[in-house]
A and B are shown apart, each in its own frame.
Chain A
Amino acid sequence: MYGAFWRLVEGLGVKDARARWERQSPFVQRAVPPLVIALLVILVTLPVRTPDPAAMVLLAIAYALYVMPYRWRRYALPATVLALAVAYPFLIQQADYGRFLFKLPIFNTFPSMTTMVVMVVFAMMAVALNIVVGYAGLLDLGYVAFYALGAYTAAWLASPHAAQFKWPGHHHNINLDIGGIGIPPGVGGIHISIWIVLLAAAIVTAVGGVLIGLPTLRLRGDYLAIVTLGFGEIVSEIARDGDKQTLGFNLTNGPPGINPVDPPGFGVWIAHHLGLPANYLTEAGVYVNFTTVIYWSAIVLLLITIFCSVRMRDSRLGRAWIAIREDEVAAAAMGIPLMRTKTWAYASGAFFGGVAGAWFASYKQAVFPDDFYFGISIFVLTMVILGGMGNVWGVVAGAVLLSYLNYEGLNNFSAWMNNNVLSCNASSQDPAKVISGGCINAPLVSTGIYGAILVLVMLFRPGGLIPERRRQYEFETGVHDEPLMDVMQAPAE
């Protein structure tokens, strides 16, 4: 391909083109080709559509990042992504969508703010699950348990739910207010500031993780997977049926869930002294509104999660996790306490899962058992595997991509297919069927798409989109004893 291109150029009469090109500095060799290609594409498409200014700016930023030396890009790339993410509410919440943004091919508009919040929350969960699956190599199929535990802890600690119970040994109902936000007068119950609740939910979930982990982590990998799956089912079943009628004690309020849950906020004192919003619900600007502040706070929480995750990976504990993942027997022989190290991985993964769950509950201002079904565990696992097990940035990318697809992308994709490719007759479409009346309804088979992603990634790119270098070696060479016979080996690809 490369040689053919230069033969073509030299055939056109440019003498020694290839030799002269290869004498250029590496910078020129890297910087010029994309520029030429981009100019050609723009020139060719100019008669059809005028270049969109916003798209041009985005391309220019991407180009600048591509051209700069690695030691700059290392910091500039995350900084740019973060800056764009923080500025996103100002870009999307315009009355005129096309002012700063452009429509993507096939997938149409950029994600809305509500989808963005969900994307960040799922990114947080994926980074947390990555500690368990990516670093320590323990397959956890019941991650939704921690998410649910965090959400329900938050619902208990910041809602009128507890008002139906009495203090132990007392006659009056529970009524506690520690920096609670937006409490209607006289409802009672426990109302604790969300920031304390986040920490409390994280600790409760981490303890839950230890309790689940202690008996089960002795098991071999695949037994562990199925036991965690069982725990996930148990927790979601308790969430669904843990009301007075079935359980005898109103733990989760059953199918209607706990509703309402207090919104987040900093309270009047901090709002007065630091200018942070007292109650997120009362933020009602065009750009800075409830969803926006929720989104920004979620980004801060995600950054904290990423920071802790990276620091833990590089710590003594993190290196012990990776050693266990690579070879449990060798790690034990080197003096790593297997149980304690694995339990720590579990607890850390659960900790941040709890934060994500609590934040989600506070954002929704309610907890519904239907939000915590088994599919979520697989969904988050797919994010980790698609992004690249063990690589934080890959996992974030996988999470953002998949949750976008789940909440908006597949819908947009179906709409585009139905309008442009298929002979769809919307009136004869059955919304409960995947294929009907010449239309498709892709969101219905989302789990099948995740399944296909899991299989394809494992077969063709086991390291994920952005593989962790160390993990890639493991997948390429295998970590077990070398197979004796060639029949056991994977076919060369």
Chain B
Amino acid sequence: MYGILELINFAHGDVFMIGGMIAASFVISVFNLGPYPSIGMLTLAVVVSLAVAMTACALLNATIERIGYRPLRGAPRLVPLITAIGFSYILQNIAFIWKGPRPVSLPPTLPSGSAFTIGTCPKCASYQWSQLFVLIITIPVLIGLVWLVRYTKRGKAMRATAQDKDAAAMMGIDVNRTISFTFIIAGALAGAAGVIFAFYETTIQYNSGFTLGLIAFTAAVLGGIGNLQGAVLGGLMIGFIQDYNEGLGWAAPGSAFTHSIVFGILILTLVFRPQGLLGEQTPEGG
């Protein structure tokens, strides 16, 4: 999405958070799941909350775009950036009114055992069911995204709009609709991510999204904006650095400075290699 509008959507992390909140509501209120429900119930809950959260977040993101960004498309760059911050705060406060200040806790619904193990078992590397669950949802969604962007007419329109809005408009592409469509897709993805987060982490708070959004942005910048492989690599590196910093006692400053380290990486990347590790793929260079 950054590619198409050249706008950092600060509200994106908060849309993600709303998705997680919707999943949490479904698990707690609608399905009333206890710890470790049967596979059938779990699948039903996941599918329903995914469907609802993705739809809701897609609509939410499209509404934000319609109200906050489209009327300002001719304005200086600063302006939509400021409305993005404003929307981020509004969403956080909506969640705050909805769910209160404390984190919402879910029961651990995902099966807890290992899906499979490598090696013999006091020293084995085990692969948890909950981790497999993340992959089961993520991989089809990503494949769908790649297919959408690469092989459909809409995807072609999106890429054309990202490269040059004026030229795209001259080629008969409805730029406004394409941008709205991009926001819908992005919102749906954020909703799906929020659902996965809620099921996997089993706790979500009204301000979870903002920091996560920033960390995700750091990962994207580290890997190279607009570069899908780069984003994955950046995400892995940031995750690894965070875990290393928080998990190990020696040679690491400890969890207190995790954010400082992540933002330090962001700043160093932007200063010394603004195109990211794997190179930038936006039409306009950094």
Seen from chain A, the residues whose Cβ lies within 8 Å of a Cβ on chain B are 133, 137, 139, 141, 215-216, 218-223, 225-227, 229-231, 233-234, 237-238, 240-241, 246-247, 378, 381, 385, 432-435, 444-445, 447-455, 458-459, 462, 474-475, 478-480, 483-485, 487-491
Q: Is the CB of B271 within 8 A of A215?
A: yes
Q: Is the CB of A451 within 8 A of B87?
A: yes
Q: Is the CB of B90 within 8 A of A241?
A: no
Chain A residues closer than 8 Å to B6, beta-carbon distance: 222
For A241, give its contact among B68, B100, B176, B257 (CB under 8 Å). Answer: B257
**Is B145 at the interface (CB under 8 A from chain A)?**
no
Nearest 4 A/B pairs, CB to CB: A448-B93, A451-B89, A230-B263, A454-B86
Seen from chain B, the residues whose Cβ lies within 8 Å of a Cβ on chain A are 6-8, 67-68, 71-83, 85-90, 92-94, 96-97, 100-102, 165-166, 169-170, 174-176, 214, 217, 221, 253-254, 256-257, 259-260, 263-264, 266-267, 270-271, 274, 286
Q: Is the CB of B74 within 8 A of A246?
A: no
Assess A223 versus B97: contact at CB under 8 Å? Given A241-B257, A454-B83: no
CA distance A129 to B70 in the complex (A): 28
Q: Is the CB of B86 within 8 A of A222?
A: no
For A229, give its contact among B68, B80, B214 (CB under 8 Å). Answer: B214
Assess A452 versus B286: contact at CB under 8 Å? Given A230-B266, A487-B175: no
CA distance A139 to B81 in the complex (A): 9
CA distance A295 to B78 in the complex (A): 34
Q: Is the CB of B96 within 8 A of A220?
A: no
Q: From A138, which residue of chain B is reached at the shortest CB distance? A: B78
Nearest CB of chain B from residue A249's CB, rounded to whole Å: 12
Q: Is the CB of B266 within 8 A of A475?
A: no
CA distance A459 to B86 in the complex (A): 11
For B260, give its contact among A225, A238, A434 (CB under 8 Å). Answer: A238
Chain A residues closer than 8 Å to B165, beta-carbon distance: 485, 488
CA distance A230 to B215 in the complex (A): 10
Q: Is the CB of B74 within 8 A of A226?
A: no
For B72, give its contact among A215, A240, A490 (CB under 8 Å). Answer: A490
Q: Is the CB of A484 within 8 A of B214?
A: no
Q: Is the CB of A488 within 8 A of B263?
A: no
Q: Is the CB of B74 within 8 A of A451?
A: no
Assess A475 versus B256: contact at CB under 8 Å? Given A230-B266, A485-B166, A490-B73: no
Q: Is the CB of B89 within 8 A of A448?
A: yes
Q: Is the CB of B7 within 8 A of A222?
A: yes
Q: Is the CB of A488 within 8 A of B71?
A: no
Q: Is the CB of B79 within 8 A of A452?
A: no
Chain B residues closer than 8 Å to A454, beta-carbon distance: 82-83, 85-86, 89
Taking A216-B270, A459-B83, A478-B76 as known contacts, 4 extra A-B pairs with beta carbons closer than 8 A to each other, sorted by chain A number, are A218-B271, A222-B8, A483-B166, A484-B166
Q: Is the CB of B256 within 8 A of A246?
A: yes
CA distance A483 to B267 in the complex (A): 33
Q: Is the CB of A139 within 8 A of B82?
A: yes
Q: Is the CB of A234 within 8 A of B260?
A: yes
Q: Is the CB of B254 within 8 A of A491?
A: no
Q: From B264, which residue of chain A is reached at the shortest CB distance? A: A234
24 A-B pairs, CB-CB below 8 angstroms?
A216-B267, A216-B271, A227-B266, A230-B263, A230-B264, A234-B259, A241-B256, A247-B253, A433-B100, A435-B97, A445-B96, A448-B93, A451-B92, A451-B93, A454-B83, A454-B89, A458-B86, A459-B68, A462-B79, A474-B76, A475-B75, A485-B175, A487-B169, A488-B74
Assess A455 versus B90: contact at CB under 8 Å? Given A434-B96, A444-B96, A462-B75: yes
Nearest CB of chain A from residue B182's CB, rounded to whole Å: 15
Q: Is the CB of B175 within 8 A of A141?
A: no
Q: Is the CB of A447 within 8 A of B92?
A: yes
Nearest CB of chain A from residue B263's CB, rounded to whole Å: 3
Chain B residues closer than 8 Å to A485, beta-carbon distance: 165-166, 169-170, 175
Q: From A483, which residue of chain B is reached at the shortest CB distance? A: B74
Q: Is the CB of B97 within 8 A of A445?
A: yes
Nearest CB of chain A from residue B261's CB, rounded to whole Å: 9
CA distance A381 to B10 in the complex (A): 15
Residue of B74, B82, B259, B263 ringed by the most chain A CB atoms within 10 A: B82
Q: From B167, which residue of chain A is reached at the shortest CB distance? A: A484
Q: Is the CB of B270 within 8 A of A225?
A: no
Chain B residues closer than 8 Å to A488, beta-carbon distance: 73-74, 165-166, 169, 175
For B75, give its contact among A222, A432, A435, A478 (CB under 8 Å). Answer: A478
CA distance A435 to B97 in the complex (A): 7
Q: Is the CB of A455 within 8 A of B83?
A: yes
Q: Is the CB of B74 within 8 A of A490?
A: yes
CA distance A385 to B73 in the complex (A): 19
Q: From B211, which residue of chain A is reached at the shortest CB distance? A: A233
Q: From A436, which residue of chain B is reached at the shortest CB distance? A: B100
Assess A451 versus B96: contact at CB under 8 Å? Given A241-B257, A246-B254, A490-B75: no
Q: Is the CB of A385 within 8 A of B82?
A: yes
CA distance A141 to B84 in the complex (A): 13
Nearest CB of chain B from residue A477's CB, rounded to whole Å: 9
Q: From B101, which residue of chain A is reached at the shortest CB distance? A: A432
Nearest CB of chain A from residue B9's CB, rounded to whole Å: 10
Q: From A478, which residue of chain B is reached at the shortest CB distance? A: B74
Q: Is the CB of B253 within 8 A of A489?
A: no
Chain A residues closer than 8 Å to B82, beta-carbon distance: 139, 381, 385, 454, 458
Chain A residues closer than 8 Å to B170, beta-carbon distance: 484-485
Q: From A452, which residue of chain B is reached at the shortest CB distance? A: B90
Chain A residues closer than 8 Å to B217, beta-carbon distance: 226
Nearest CB of chain B from residue A464's CB, rounded to whole Å: 11
Nearest CB of chain A from residue B13's CB, rounded to whole Å: 12
Q: From B8, which residue of chain A is reached at the shortest CB distance? A: A222
Nearest CB of chain B from residue A145's CB, rounded to whole Å: 11
CA distance A450 to B87 in the complex (A): 10
Q: From A476, which residue of chain B is reached at the shortest CB distance? A: B75
For A458, give its contact among B8, B83, B166, B263 (CB under 8 Å). Answer: B83
